[in-house]
Amino acid sequence: MLRCRDGSLYTGATNNLERRVATHGRGRGAAYTRARLPVTLVWSEAAEDRSAALRREAAIKRLSRGDKLLMVEAVRPPSRRRER
């Protein structure tokens, strides 16, 4: 899942995550992300095969924005707070 400049989330499936994120970052990915650069990878998971990946992508796309944000927060490392 990518977070776009405008705060929106883009979900897709790929068999080469690094290459696909770089492609989106160069403005060569989906038209949706091209119009909302820069993008940042905020969440990913591995799938058993392409079919499973596409099913999972479809399931994620059906989630509400709030549920997607909860997924992102669940994997983000806790921020460090400065102790005074």
Q: Is residue 11 part of a domain?
A: yes
- The answer to whether residues 5 and 37 touch, using CB atoms and an 8 Å cutoff, is yes
Cα distance between residue 69 and residue 42, in whole Å: 10
- Confidence tier at 78 by pLDDT (50, 70, 90): low
Domain count, the chain: 1
Residues in the chain: 84
Q: Is residue 53 part of a domain?
A: yes
Q: Is residue 24 part of a domain?
A: yes
Cα distance between residue 14 and residue 8, in whole Å: 19
pLDDT one-digit tens code per residue, 11-60? 999 999 999 999 999 999 999 999 999 999 999 999 999 999 999 999 99
Q: What is the CATH number of the domain that holds 33?
A: 3.40.1440.10
Q: Specify the pLDDT at position 59.
A: 97
Residue 15 lies in domain: 2-75
Q: Is residue 38 part of a domain?
A: yes
Q: Is residue 35 part of a domain?
A: yes
Cβ count near 39 (within 10 Å): 22
